[in-house]
A and B are shown apart, each in its own frame.
Chain A
Amino acid sequence: MPQLLTNKRLILLLLGVILLVALISFSLRDRGNVSLPEQIIKDAVGAGQSVFSRPAHFVTGIFDNVDSLLNTFEENEHLKTRLEEFAGVQAEVKDLRSENAELKQLVGKEEDLRDYNPIQATVIARNPDQWEEKIILNRGSNQGVAENMAVMTATGLIGKVTLTTPTTSTVELISTLNPNYRVSAMVVGGKKDVFGLIEGYDAERHELLLKRIDANVELKKGDQVVSSGLGGIFPKGILIGTITEITIDEFGLTKLAYVKPAADFSLLDHVVIADRLMPEVDGEDNGVTGDDES
C-alpha cells in the first residue's frame, strides 16, 4: 500500500460519509418502526444471542446461589421474625380477597384494571453501549407481545416494550432519560389514593420523579407508588417504588416526589410482560395517542 489516501480513495470515503449521514438521519426519524430487513436481522441476531445468554445466565445463577448460601444464617433469623407476622397478614389477605370477590359479584363488576395475562420472558441482551437504557427479550409478537406493554420483575415495574419483532422485543427501562416516557401512577398508603405521573429520572440520585401531584395533598416519606392503570395500557397495581422526598416542582404549582424504584435494574434475567385484559387504548401509557403525535 503506497499511500493510504489517494484522490480516488478520498472521494470514495467522502461519498461513504455522506451516505452514512443520510442513513443515520433517515433511521433516526422513525426509530419506532422496524422495516422488514431490520426485522429479519433482529430475529436472526436474537436467535444467536439467546444461545450465548443461556450459559451466561447459568453462571450468574451459580454466583447468586453461592451468594445466598453465604447469607443463609442472617436471612433465616430475619425471616423467622417475619414469619409470625406473615401468617396474620395472609389470613387477612384471604379474608379481604373473598370479600372483594363477593362485593364485585354484588355490583356485577367483572372486569378489573388489575387483571393481566403474564408473558414470561428472558433477557437475552442489554444494549451493550448503554447510552440508552434498553434490554432485549426473547419473546415477540408471535407470543402476543405488543408495543407499550408493561414489563416487570418480581420486585416491581422495570419498563415498557418499545419495539417488537416476531421473536424478540426491545424494552426501554424506566430509568431512561427520554422526556416522553411517562407512566401514570398513584400513591397508596394515605386515606385516599393520590394520582400523578412518573416523568423522568434523576440520574444522580438514581430515583424516579413523580410529578403533577395536587399541591394540597399531604404525602409521606415511605409511601408506596404503584401504577394506576389510568394511562390506558398498564395494568393497575404494579409496584413502582417508595417515596423518599417530597418537594415543590419548578413552577411551584404542583408537588414533585422522588421515588426510589423497587426493582433493581442491573443483572436482570427473568421478567414478566403484562398483557392487560381490559381493552387498551392506542398510544403509549399516558402519552401521545395516535392522532396528536407530531
Chain B
Amino acid sequence: MIRFLIPLICLVLFFMEPVFGLFSPLNIGGELNYIVPRFLIMFLIFLTLYYDLKHAMFYGLFFGLLYDVFYIDIIGLYSFLYPATCLAAAFAFKRIPQNLVTATLLTLVLLGVFEFLLYQFFLLISLTGMPLGTFLATRLWPTMVANSIFLVMLGWVFKSVMVTQLSERDTKIGLY
C-alpha cells in the first residue's frame, strides 16, 4: 500500500492544480494577477533530489503527457519540460550544498526558468502577445509568490515522505 504513496501524491497534486487555477486571475487593486499552480513540478523536483532521478523523470513524462492531452492539446510540451526540469535539478543539486533550504531555493529558481520557457514557447507559436514586462509583473511574480508559499509549507513534508520511502525501499532491497 505504502509503495503507491508517491504516485498517489502525484495524482492528487495533478488534480489539485486546475482546481486552484479556478481562483485565478486574482484581481488585486484593479490589476489582474495570474497565479499558475505548479504543485506537481515542485514535487517532482523534490522527488529528484531526495528519491531518485529515474522515477521522477518517469512520473514527469506520464503526468506531462496527461497534462498535454487534457489541457493544452499540444502533445510533447509538458511531457518534455517535466523530465527536462528534473534532469536539470539533479545536475544542479550535485554542485551546491545539500539541505532543505537550498533544495527549496533551487526548486523555485527552476520553476521560474520553467515558467519563462513556457512563455517563450507560447510567444513563439503566437498564442500570447504579452510583453515581457507584463509577463514578469502579472504572471511570473504572483506565480512565484503563491508557489513558494505552498513549497515552504509542504516542502519538509515532501522530504520526509521521500526519506521514509527511500529507507523502506533500501531495507526491502531484495524484493526488487
Are B127 and A177 in touch, CB under 8 angstroms? yes
In the complex, chain B residues whose CB is within 8 Å of the CB of A177: 127-129
22 contacts between A and B (CB under 8 A): A1-B53, A4-B90, A16-B80, A20-B76, A45-B69, A46-B70, A49-B15, A49-B18, A49-B70, A123-B22, A124-B18, A125-B21, A125-B22, A127-B21, A128-B17, A128-B37, A129-B71, A129-B72, A131-B128, A266-B27, A267-B22, A267-B23
Distance from B166 Cβ to chain A, minimum over Cβ atoms (Å): 15
Contacts A125-B19, A126-B21, A130-B25 given; indicate if A31 touches B73 (C-beta within 8 A). yes
Q: When chains A and B are docked, how far (Å) is the Cα of A132 from the Cα of B38?
A: 16
In the complex, chain B residues whose CB is within 8 Å of the CB of A49: 15, 18, 70
Q: When chains A and B are docked, how far (Å) is the Cα of A203 from the Cα of B125?
A: 18
For B68, give the chain A residue with the smallest CB separation: A27
Are A128 and B15 in touch, CB under 8 angstroms? no
For B69, give the chain A residue with the smallest CB separation: A41
**Interface status of B77 (Cβ within 8 A of chain A):** yes
**Interface status of B163 (Cβ within 8 A of chain A):** no
Q: When chains A and B are docked, how far (Å) is the Cα of A130 from the Cα of B143?
A: 11
**Interface status of B24 (Cβ within 8 A of chain A):** yes
Q: When chains A and B are docked, how far (Å) is the Cα of A46 from the Cα of B69?
A: 11
Are A266 and B24 in touch, CB under 8 angstroms? yes
For chain A residues 111-151, which have a beta carbon within 8 Å of chain B? 123-132, 134, 136
Which of A17, A48, A130, A203 touches B21 (beta carbons < 8 Å)? A130
**Interface status of A221 (Cβ within 8 A of chain B):** no
How many residues belonging to A are interface residues under a CB distance threshold of 8 Å? Answer: 48
Are B71 and A128 in touch, CB under 8 angstroms? yes
Q: When chains A and B are docked, how far (Å) is the Cα of A17 from the Cα of B127?
A: 22
Are B75 and A24 in touch, CB under 8 angstroms? yes
In the complex, chain B residues whose CB is within 8 Å of the CB of A132: 72, 127
- B residues with a Cβ closer than 8 A to A are 11, 15-27, 32, 34, 36-37, 53, 65-66, 68-77, 79-80, 87, 90-91, 118-119, 122, 125, 127-130
Are A23 and B75 in touch, CB under 8 angstroms? yes
- Which 7 pairs of residues, A with B, have the shortest CB-CB distance? A125-B18, A23-B76, A128-B21, A20-B76, A24-B76, A52-B15, A27-B75
For chain A residues 50-109, which have a beta carbon within 8 Å of chain B? 51-53, 56, 60
**Interface status of A38 (Cβ within 8 A of chain B):** yes
Are B71 and A20 in touch, CB under 8 angstroms? no
**Interface status of A268 (Cβ within 8 A of chain B):** yes
Are B15 and A48 in touch, CB under 8 angstroms? yes
Which of B21, B91, B119 touches A4 (beta carbons < 8 Å)? B91
Q: When chains A and B are docked, how far (Å) is the Cα of A221 from the Cα of B90?
A: 58
Contacts A131-B127, A203-B130 given; indicate if A27 touches B18 (C-beta within 8 A). no
**Interface status of A206 (Cβ within 8 A of chain B):** yes
In the complex, chain A residues whose CB is within 8 Å of the CB of B91: 4
Which of A28, A46, A134, A268 touches B74 (beta carbons < 8 Å)? A28
Which of A17, A52, A126, A268 touches B16 (beta carbons < 8 Å)? A52
Counting chain B CB atoms within 10 Å of each CB, the highest count among A56, A129, A178, A206 belongs to A129
Q: When chains A and B are docked, how far (Å) is the Cα of A46 from the Cα of B70?
A: 8
Which of B72, B79, B80, B129 touches A127 (beta carbons < 8 Å)? B72
**Interface status of A21 (Cβ within 8 A of chain B):** yes
In the complex, chain B residues whose CB is within 8 Å of the CB of A213: none
Are A45 and B74 in touch, CB under 8 angstroms? no
